[in-house]
Amino acid sequence: MVLTASKLRSDIYRILDRVLETGQAIEVQRKGRRVRIVPVDPPTRLARLRTRELLTDNDPDAIVHLDWSGEWRP
């Protein structure tokens, strides 16, 4: 993503937070030249995972005992 210096100045904290959260570099263009802002320690893939809702209303232990034999077709 390439931003102007004015855009960076107007929203610097949100932009810096996004760089830290995603690990994606931001480029700032000033007087025809570009400066790149990158995190020194990019977030791990595990840290970037989003939490998801449980896809079933059942007890998770009950899923283990479901009988799928009627659905299985070799």
CB 14 within 8 A of CB 26: no
CB contact burial 1-11 (16+ within 10 A = b; e otherwise): eebeeeebeee
Enter the tokens of residue 49. Answer: 């995972």
Q: Please name the residues in contact with 30: beta carbons below 8 A apart, sequence gap of 6 or more.
A: 4, 5
Whole-number pLDDT of residue 55: 64
2-47 per-position pLDDT tens digit: 999 999 999 999 999 999 888 899 999 999 999 999 999 877 888 7
| Confidence at residue 32, expressed as pLDDT on a 0 to 100 scale | 93
Sign (positive or negative) of CA dihedral 20, 24, 28, 34:
positive
| pLDDT at residue 26 in the model | 95
Amino acid (one-letter) located at 53: E
